[in-house]
Amino acid sequence: MGFTTASEVHLKRSEIIQIETGSRELNRLLGGGIETGSITEVFGEFRTGKSQLCHTLAVMCQLPIDMGGAEGKCLWIDTEGTFRPERLLAVAERYKLSGQDVLDNVVYARCYNTDHQMQ
């Protein structure tokens, strides 16, 4: 365990970007959106919108900061086989982004078991 000053923690936290989710209500519940530099677990019952949220976030993270994004890219580790590039294209169209650019900014890996996750 290491120690750090409050100033260092404050500086690090000032670099965090809140990526909007595409839902005002969910953004409100999350305190502004999904934070960069952290892991956010999404879980719930079958067919409750988890995959749709992830598809939306994969596009939202690419938007300019002033539009609720992070000007970034997405790494998608698919553990359930729910990734659908055509959903990304639909979200890209909603935000008037180039579908090809959006697809090129998402790196995908299918993970079948915990052995794959450890590699």
pLDDT digits 0-9 by tens, 61-80: 999 999 999 999 999 999 88
Q: How far apart are CA 96 and CA 33, in angstroms?
A: 21
> For 31-48, how does the pLDDT look when each residue is reduced to its tens digit (9 = 90+)?
999 999 988 999 999 999
According to DSSP, the β-strands at 106-110 and 74-78 are parallel
Q: How far apart are CA 17 and CA 33, in angstroms?
A: 9
Tokens 């879980």 — which residue?
43
Closest to 63 measured CA to CA, from 12, 21, 107:
21
Q: How far apart are CA 1 and CA 107, in angstroms?
A: 33
Closest to 109 measured CA to CA, from 62, 85, 76, 64:
76
Q: Residue 115: what pLDDT? A: 72
Q: How far apart are CA 119 and CA 115, in angstroms?
A: 7
Q: In this model, does residue 117 exceed pLDDT 70?
A: no
How many C-beta atoms lie closer than 10 Å to residue 26's C-beta?
15
